[in-house]
Homo-oligomer: A and B are copies of this chain.
């Protein structure tokens, strides 16, 4: 099963089901997980039934499930060259390069 083949709402639902399975694997109730994650019981219920939640709540829930490091793999740090890192740490942040030579819509204006 690949997420790329699912719709957005299907991904959300699948995520909720996996969280439920993980919770049940740990033999915990929704109320217990909600208390440990410091979120309302409603948040767990809605998440597990595919209604979604905020990323903040997801982080709390992942931590309560002992899966906070799994978030690390969500967007792993891409290969950033030391030079680019230096620029990132510099004045501001690198903007998407291209500038004038990369205008999209109003190219002939």
Report A's interface with B, CB cutoff 8 A: 2-4, 8-9, 11-12, 15, 18-25, 27-29, 32, 47, 52-56, 58-60, 62-63, 67-78, 80, 88, 93-98, 104
Contact = CB atoms under 8 A, between A and B. Distances in A.
A93 B20 contact: yes
Contact of A15 (B22, B52, B55): B55
A93 B17 CA distance: 11
- A interface SS class: helix
A78 B21 contact: yes
Stoichiometry (number of copies): 2
B18 A77 contact: yes
A15 B54 contact: no
A51 to B, nearest CB: 10
